[in-house]
Structure 1
């Protein structure tokens, strides 16, 4: 199976000037562990994850003052939609992260998470045992 078949195509996007609290609220409302950060003044896209929020708040920073731009990951590892799930899982394991932004031709198509991959693999395993 390929990334395009398992990814979440409904991507939460936030801007670089959103506060950490705003990003956290949007992520919680959508039930997602990440948000793609689009900055028209920067090259590429960034990603804000639960881990980024946890680090900032755990360091005692004010989530109503701190902006996403200061706490996100800009050196994102991107997945292609035609990658296999194994390739995506390997990239996540090597990089120590749980989300990959899926890009095609510079356009964000979706996000794939460890949870997405596990859901597909568990379903495939269950179908094989029937």
Structure 2
């Protein structure tokens, strides 16, 4: 199975000046755990995850003052849609992260998470109907 089969194509892209609160609201509204941070000044892509926001809050930082730029991971490992899920899982395990930005011809087309991979490897089974006594 390939990354394209598991990735989320709901890609949230934000700018580096977004506050962490703004990022969190957008992530919650789209039900995603990561946002791609596009910095047009550096032409770079980074990623901001729910964990980055959690670490900032845990450190007592103000989410209305902290920007995505200050918490963005910029040394991102990118996947392609043609990677196997095994390759994606290996990259995540090796790098210690839970999200991979998926690029196709240099453009972000999706994000694949550990949860996405698990859902493909172990599909949710229907629960039996409750027995009526």
- Compute the TM-score of the two structures, normalised by the length of structure 1: 0.92
- The 2-side partners of 1:119 and 1:5 are apart by 11
Q: Measured at CA, do residues 33 and 3 of structure 1 come closer, stay the same or move farther in structure 2, by a change above 3 Å?
A: same
Tell me by how many angstroms 1:43 deviates.
Answer: 3.3
Name the counterpart of 2:94.
Answer: 94
Moved over 2 A (4+): 123-126
Which has more radius of gyration?
A: 2
Tell me by how many angstroms 1:31 deviates.
Answer: 1.2
Name the counterpart of 1:24.
Answer: 24
Name the counterpart of 1:121.
Answer: 121
- The 1-side partners of 2:67 and 2:123 are apart by 39
How big is each residue's C-alpha offset from its partner over 1:74-93, in whole Å with a ceiling of 9 and x where there is no partner?
A: 01000111000000000000
Name the counterpart of 1:69.
Answer: 69
1:81 counterpart SS class = coil
For structure 1, list consecutive stretches of 5 or more residues without a partner in the other structure.
Answer: none
Name the counterpart of 1:45.
Answer: 45
For structure 2, list consecutive stretches of 5 or more residues without a partner in the other structure.
Answer: 127-133
Name the counterpart of 2:10.
Answer: 10
1:38 counterpart SS class = strand
Tell me by how many angstroms 1:30 deviates.
Answer: 1.2
- The 1-side partners of 2:25 and 2:12 are apart by 11
How many pairs does the alignment contain? 126
How big is each residue's C-alpha offset from its partner over 1:62-106, in whole Å with a ceiling of 9 and x where there is no partner?
A: 100111001110010001110000000000001110000001221
- The 2-side partners of 1:76 and 1:83 are apart by 16
